[in-house]
Amino acid sequence: MFTTRAAEGVDHDFLWEMLYQALHVRPGDPPMPRTLLDAPDIAHYLIDFGSRDGDDARVAVDDSDLPIGAAWVRLMPADDPGYGFVAEHIPEISMAVVPEWRGRGVGTQLIRDLIARHPVISLSVDNDNVGAMRLYERLGFVSVGTVGTSITMLRGLL
């Protein structure tokens, strides 16, 4: 069993770990270096999180209150867009679940929690991450474009 709750200050390091886990590694490729989190196009998803209007995060915890997954949204400016950028007024969601809890509904619940609070939302998913794309499609996301090997998906109306 697990529950979800609003992210708190104590979740800061866990959110960064989930950002690392959210970086898609193609099957057979080595893990990405953690220093990638310092790259501006990755770090802007969490740098100073909570200081901008629209920052919102949820954390899933197990029966022992250990964090097992997180999802968060952030409004990105047009001059510093995220990979799933659609418009400045549409928050982009990022999400990851620790490996041993994947496939057990954690990600689905985290996304549903944020959809309830942000009915129009976008994201980016690698084109070979078929499982994630199926989840997003089940939750009402549709493809609206591509950036490199990533598909930009949107849920809700512009």
pLDDT digits (tens, 9 = 90+) for 79-138: 999 999 999 999 999 999 999 999 999 999 999 999 999 999 999 999 999 999 999 999
d(CA 148, CA 21) in angstroms, rounded, equals 20
Predicted confidence band of residue 148 (pLDDT cuts 50, 70, 90): confident
DSSP string, 49-95: TTSSTT-EEEEEEETTS-EEEEEEEE---TTS--TT---TTSPEEEE
pTM: 0.95
Closest CA to 157 of 126, 122, 109: 122
Average pLDDT, the chain: 96
Share of the chain above pLDDT 90, in %: 93
Find the angle CA(50)-CA(48)-CA(53) to the nearest 5 degrees.
40
Q: Are 26 and 132 in contact (CB under 8 A)?
A: no
* 3-state secondary structure (DSSP) of residue 96: strand
How many CA atoms lie less than 13 Å away from 34 in the CB half-sphere? 3
